[in-house]
Chains A and B, each alone.
Chain A
Amino acid sequence: MFTLNHVSYSYKADSPVRAQALSDISLSIKKGECVGLIGHTGSGKSTLAQILSGLLTPTSGTVSFEDTPLFIKNKFNRALRGQIGLVFQYPEYQLFEETVLKDIAYGPMNLGATQSEAFHKARTAAQLLGLSEEVFDKSPLQLSGGQKRRVAIAGILAMEPQVLILDEPTAGLDPEGREELLKILKNLHKSTGNTTILISHSMDFVAGFTERIIVLNRGSLWMDGTPQEIFSDPEKLKVAGLAPPPVSELFSLFGFPVPPVFTAEEAVSALLPYMHQGGGSVCK
């Protein structure tokens, strides 16, 4: 789907305060793949997301989308408009329409859909995100935080992009909201088969959702592999300012090899072979 060749990006490239955000990134992302993108603050995740969605033109290097160049003469290739959907951080701040459905339909209308087409797409997208009919005519401002976020994601989805890029979709949500969104996004990926790229600081969220994780460190490609491969190397992650999901810390404490565990249940199953019944225990 995406092929990046030696992509670099500098903010204010022509000025003395030039800041290099990405250096020499080469990678490819396959159609239908679900990829997690992690890294410390300032590692270049959001810059990369904006390049992949055509908002920023690389300072050097090339990006192609299904064999078509993503940029032509340093500008986004307009033939690809609507193909790549980017959900920004805190997307609910961008809700503005009078009703939920109108807000979701805004994207497709902009891409030239008729009103009835746009509303049809909006309904479909809303349903995919688990928003019920009752909220369609409400003001987006009346909804809960988790619902608002889903409305914003539906607005992107209604444009029927082939790629969905989500930047920190769970930031600020409560544990239930995180859990719910994870479930919805998993189902969404299953039913649409979209290529999905997920940026997050929440390691358990990324581990629970993706098949492949790309780690950026100071603008460079640091690691690329399955969640199992990535999280079984806590030392290398640590250098990049990251840590494996919290449950795996227990294994490091015992000096056991860190197994690919992301949930408490998985940690328990991985622990049992080391344990025997009997013996006493005190905690504190």
Chain B
Amino acid sequence: MDNSTVCRIEHVTSHYTTEDDTQKLVLDDISLDIRRGEFLAVLGRNGSGKSTLAKHLNAILLPSGGKVWVDGMDTTDEELLFEIRRRVGMVFQNPDNQLVSSVVEDDIAFGPENLGVSREEIRARVDEALEAVGLTEYKDRSPHMLSGGQKQRVAIAGIIAMRPDVVVLDEPTAMLDPKGRDEVMETMMLLNKGIHMTVVLITHFMEEAIMADRVCVLSDGKLALSGSPASVFSEEETLQKLGLTLPPAAAIAQGLRKEGYPIPKDCLTMDALAKAICPYLKEGFPCSH
């Protein structure tokens, strides 16, 4: 595994035993390399194996078959567990379940404290993490008094303070209002583009997936589709079979194509779509775009 790959998932299968003693396959021979510094979105129906896959990235779950490597370390090696968990941090759906302290900065310090980091170093890391998520002015507040989006950013800051190589976020915006969702997405982009952290985002929102460098789609535990957002979202028929929808801009573009306007399939954002529509606007509607 060369240095550009931070996590390698190698022919991983995962199953669990149901009540009536039958084996249920959740991941079915998945191979995937996560590249250092990339922003990877993982899509798929409920039950397609997304969260199970995520939990394999920091040894919360171990593969039934195949191997998962994190920075070259085998996740089944118990002696490396600490190192692996330090490198891959996870953020879950419900912010209320992830906050442990009654003061924001204490909450963020909890992770590095457990790693045995020195006091001065913790102070520095907490300040840096607060700044990265834009919550410096809230450091003395109680997390319970914050909005959903702010709470989720506290949870993300707690992970950043552990200085992981990879942050895995499992539907971090599912419980948030539109503003909270935007805040969390902005924070994720900042982590990825600003401090080059590898981000793995599991989501049901197509408009979030279009911001990623690469999109993977799981279906029945298999890797069904993988590629740039533009290439994945141009596979309109396949997407439908996989239970996914088009991002809003792409859906409008598709509708316009049916009306005879050759709007390209790679218009994924409203800005891009607006640009593509401009040449077709009637006179009297000058396109300032």
Among the stretches A127-135, A150-158, A262-270, the one at the interface with B is: A262-270
Check A69 for interface membership: any CB of B closer than 8 A: no
By a CB distance below 8 angstroms, the chain B residues around A277 are: 260-261, 280
By a CB distance below 8 angstroms, the chain A residues around B252 are: 247, 250, 264, 267-268, 271
Check A226 for interface membership: any CB of B closer than 8 A: no
- Which A residue sits closest to B285, measured CB to CB? A274
Q: Please give the number of chain A residues whose Cβ is less than 8 angstroms from any Cβ of chain B in the complex.
A: 51
Complex Cα spacing A284 to B266, Å:
7
Complex Cα spacing A235 to B289, Å:
20
Complex Cα spacing A242 to B181, Å:
11
- Which A residue sits closest to B273, measured CB to CB? A250
Contact A173 B255, CB 8 Å, known A253-B274, A279-B279: no
Interface string of B263-289 (1 = CB under 8 A from A): 110110011111111111110010111
By a CB distance below 8 angstroms, the chain A residues around B245 are: 175, 179
| Docked-complex contact B180 and A41, CB < 8 angstroms | yes
Complex Cα spacing A211 to B247, Å:
25
By a CB distance below 8 angstroms, the chain A residues around B179 are: 40, 241-243
By a CB distance below 8 angstroms, the chain B residues around A268 are: 252, 255-256, 258-259
| Docked-complex contact A201 and B177, CB < 8 angstroms | yes
| Docked-complex contact B288 and A255, CB < 8 angstroms | yes
Contact A241 B204, CB 8 Å, known A40-B147, A268-B255, A277-B280: no
Instruction: Write the nearest CB–CB distance from A211 to chain B, whole angstroms.
Output: 22
| Docked-complex contact B262 and A281, CB < 8 angstroms | yes
Check A194 for interface membership: any CB of B closer than 8 A: no
By a CB distance below 8 angstroms, the chain B residues around A225 are: none
Check B47 for interface membership: any CB of A closer than 8 A: yes
Complex Cα spacing A253 to B177, Å:
22
Range for the number of chain B residues in contact with chain A = 35 or more
Instruction: Write the nearest CB–CB distance from B20 to chain A, whole angstroms.
Output: 9
Check B32 for interface membership: any CB of A closer than 8 A: no
Complex Cα spacing A278 to B282, Å:
10
| Docked-complex contact A241 and B177, CB < 8 angstroms | yes
Complex Cα spacing A277 to B279, Å:
9
Complex Cα spacing A168 to B175, Å:
9
- Which B residue sits closest to A279, measured CB to CB? B279
- Which B residue sits closest to A273, measured CB to CB? B282
| Docked-complex contact B270 and A250, CB < 8 angstroms | yes
Within B20-66, the residues touching A (CB, 8 Å) are 44-47
By a CB distance below 8 angstroms, the chain B residues around A276 are: 280-282
Check A161 for interface membership: any CB of B closer than 8 A: no
Instruction: Write the nearest CB–CB distance from A46 to chain B, whole angstroms.
Output: 12
Check A33 for interface membership: any CB of B closer than 8 A: no
Complex Cα spacing A179 to B207, Å:
16
Interface string of B228-244 (1 = CB under 8 A from A): 00000000000000011
By a CB distance below 8 angstroms, the chain B residues around A275 are: 261, 277, 280-282
| Docked-complex contact B275 and A283, CB < 8 angstroms | yes
Complex Cα spacing A144 to B24, Å:
13
| Docked-complex contact A243 and B178, CB < 8 angstroms | yes
- Which B residue sits closest to A145, measured CB to CB? B46
| Docked-complex contact A201 and B178, CB < 8 angstroms | yes
Check B249 for interface membership: any CB of A closer than 8 A: yes
Check B254 for interface membership: any CB of A closer than 8 A: yes
| Docked-complex contact A175 and B259, CB < 8 angstroms | no
Interface string of A156-175 (1 = CB under 8 A from B): 00000000000010011111
Check A203 for interface membership: any CB of B closer than 8 A: yes
Instruction: Write the nearest CB–CB distance from B174 to chain A, whole angstroms.
Output: 5
| Docked-complex contact A267 and B255, CB < 8 angstroms | yes
By a CB distance below 8 angstroms, the chain B residues around A141 are: 19
By a CB distance below 8 angstroms, the chain A residues around B285 are: 254, 256, 274
Q: Which of A139, A146, A172, A265 contacts B174 (CB 8 A)?
A: A172
| Docked-complex contact B255 and A246, CB < 8 angstroms | no
By a CB distance below 8 angstroms, the chain A residues around B270 are: 246, 249-250, 253
By a CB distance below 8 angstroms, the chain A residues around B255 are: 264-265, 267-268
Instruction: Write the nearest CB–CB distance from B11 to chain A, whole angstroms.
Output: 26
Check A67 for interface membership: any CB of B closer than 8 A: no
By a CB distance below 8 angstroms, the chain A residues around B147 are: 40-42
Complex Cα spacing A33 to B266, Å:
41
| Docked-complex contact A174 and B45, CB < 8 angstroms | yes
Interface string of B72-114 (1 = CB under 8 A from A): 0000000000000000000001000000000000000000000
Check B167 for interface membership: any CB of A closer than 8 A: no
Q: Which of A41, A249, A264 contacts B176 (CB 8 A)?
A: A41
Further contacts, 8 of them, CB under 8 A, given A201-B181, A250-B249, A264-B248: A39-B177, A42-B147, A175-B204, A201-B176, A254-B289, A274-B282, A281-B276, A284-B272
Sample 18 A-B pairs with CB under 8 A, ordered by A number.
Answer: A40-B147, A172-B174, A174-B243, A174-B244, A201-B178, A241-B178, A249-B270, A250-B273, A253-B271, A264-B251, A268-B256, A271-B277, A275-B261, A276-B281, A280-B279, A281-B263, A283-B266, A283-B272
Instruction: Tell me the A residues contacting B by CB distance below 8 Å.
Output: 39-42, 89, 139, 141-142, 144-146, 168, 171-179, 201, 203, 241-243, 246-247, 249-250, 253-256, 264-265, 267-268, 271-272, 274-284
Instruction: Tell me the B residues contacting A by CB distance below 8 Å.
Output: 18-19, 44-47, 93, 147-149, 171, 174-181, 204, 206-207, 243-246, 248-249, 251-252, 254-256, 258-264, 266-267, 270-282, 285, 287-289
